[in-house]
Structure 1
């Protein structure tokens, strides 16, 4: 369901209008961790707002993974226009390119699950298994970078509605469904929201050691990525205020014991 939903989301133009550029805090962290000419695995790459930026600023080699065929086509067109084809591989999870570049080759400086990507995967066991399965894809000194939605700040009305509704048998605390609306109609999406302790527990169980857990933004992602001045102000405030106040968490982690 999520692949078809995101095909509609991207084809409507709504995703790009909501998130036209990278979050400056997230991009700065990635650029610090990816050396010049390094390798980035952008999981849930969408239209490539992080992968394209890092390919240009760090001359990085990027493997962009997304379940949405529409997103993959849009990203391929942007790569062609930017003349970055020799730096990119685009694939869906589990196809031949994924197996060759991620499962077999690995050695990424950064594995990125940007703004909310991990939260679109239903089931804690599936999320932890995916993260654990990517451990061999990291270079020995590589880092996992995550943007995770904060349960305390996101979708409060939807969370309340889920409490009152008939929950599916596999429901987990923090699960919800929500809608995005465009001229083409509504798109239903699944999300799992996180609290701080859940982030720590899940990454520990997946075999990672958290280095930094901070706020990704205080204002909604739409505001900080659409308006440069708000993004700059939000960046400064997020640096000093508690991460539990944030709209989302920004996490970097290394392989446990590395």
Structure 2
């Protein structure tokens, strides 16, 4: 995982989403719904729900929308029932792609995902065809906005808190943990006074694929089309995107 900035991909995605605010709110609502459905509606007792709420608030989702999604999940408000589905496949140049969706209509979503792969020169594969190329990790981002951090000190604090690895790129600290250590590391860093910019449990590629510019653009067109779907929660890939 070393040598590539996941934060660059996150920033690219957030920039593209600015023009799709309504869809983003819907996506957050479904993510919150699932987290509350599985672990309960109290964010203090449900770390997954707490992370989902924090992400929603970071995108300026209104509190009323957040509370409505939780109430639907806990049975205090009528609403549709959603299920989580994961699709795996290959993009142009053999890039590995994993798509996590939350849907109330599996047939509709499968058709949309398959269409996106086909349109952009990829193909949908069987379950497990690329997931072995990724590791599930806790991922935390801290940004030294004022340029005043002591890199060695922050690195030692992260390791002391239980982090497995840390990368530094232009004042952006990307910290990786085992999934079971994620909450402990995050709390440790917050208690030390660091502001967390991004925090999630996600998939990290074991290795990255490097493609020529033309093929790289085709992969990103596939990713963009997938992310335009209201059902899609996350798209993971192992393309090394040049900054």
| Larger Rg, first or second structure (1 or 2) | 2
Query: Shared topology, TM-score over 0.5?
Result: no
TM-score, with length taken from structure 2: 0.29
TM-score, with length taken from structure 1: 0.28
